[in-house]
Structure 1
Amino acid sequence: MKNLLVSFLVVIAIFFVACEEDDVKPFEGTWSGTYTGGDSGTWEAAVTYSSDDGVGVVTGTTTSSNAGGGNSQIAGALGSDGTITAAIGTTNDGGEWLGKFEKKDASGTWKSKDPNGNSIEGTWTGKKN
């Protein structure tokens, strides 16, 4: 009986350790979705963690479905609460990609400039792959 109790406690301890690790990096992986507004298209991004501080690094690409739109880079940080603050496009574009990641879903707003330098904005949604 004592061995059974010890075995049970070991299994429970392993379970809690495994859960704790998942909570530190809950958004790690690849994500993809669509964006609409002044431009529309698809996006893909990877969330990685370089430490266990809960802050993720987001890198990815948007692909415009509009003629002449091309691709833009996404680069930023993802807070432990799922809040993303990222830049899109070039430094001159001054584009922002803001929003919130949940367990399997993400959404937010974006703003940038079109090829003519006009300000454009819209919304984005996505899911964890």
Structure 2
Amino acid sequence: MKKHFLTICIFSALAFGSISCSSDDNHVHQENKLEKFKGTWVGTFSGGDTGNWTATIDAAGKATGTVSSNSVASVNFVLTGNVTENGTINVSYSYSGEEVGTMTGTLTDKTGSGTWNSPVQDLDGTWTGTKN
């Protein structure tokens, strides 16, 4: 009987020892798919006009920055918009609170490209950029 009791004790200890709880068992880790776009981006645009743009994208996908045209010296347009989880970017740029144009395209974790359009100036073209 002592032999069976000892065997039962050993198996019980092994069974209870192999079951463990972790404080993370109920924690669901959600990956922020926008994190890869977070940072400072710089680029150029060409077509009906040429110039540079810069944008900072935060962890929520909000983009803010400036657009400067080579044909309109000393004017910085305000850039605002959003990036989606799949990398689609939609931003507008404005001057004195009035929207002048839009930029749309696609970002990867390091590069981006797309098109721009300024109905106010009747101009359009393409843009490219990289994340610093």
The equivalent residue for 2:51 is 41
Deviation at 1:63, TM superposition (A): 1.1
Match of 1:122 among 108, 122, 125: 125
TM-score when normalising by structure 2: 0.68
Contact 1:88–1:112 (CA<8 Å) still a contact in 2? no
Does 2:101 align with 1:95?
Answer: yes
Which aligned segments of 4 or more residues in structure 1 are displaced greater than 6 angstroms? none
Give 3-state SS (helix, strand or coil) of 1:84's partner: strand
How far, CA to CA, are the matches of 2:86 and 2:66 in structure 1? 23
Unaligned runs of 5+ in 2: 1-28
What does 1:30-109 correspond to in 2, within 5 Å?
Answer: 30-50=40-60, 56-68=61-73, 70-90=75-95, 92-109=98-115
Unaligned runs of 5+ in 1: 1-16, 51-55
Greater CA radius of gyration, 1 or 2?
A: 2
Contact 2:33–2:85 (CA<8 Å) still a contact in 1? no
How far, CA to CA, are the matches of 1:96 and 1:104 in structure 2? 21
Identity within the alignment, %: 37
How far, CA to CA, are the matches of 2:122 and 2:48 in structure 1? 8
Q: How well do the aligned residues superpose, as a CA RMSD in angstroms?
A: 2.2
Deviation at 1:89, TM superposition (A): 1.8
Q: Count matched residues.
A: 103
Aligned AA (1:83): T
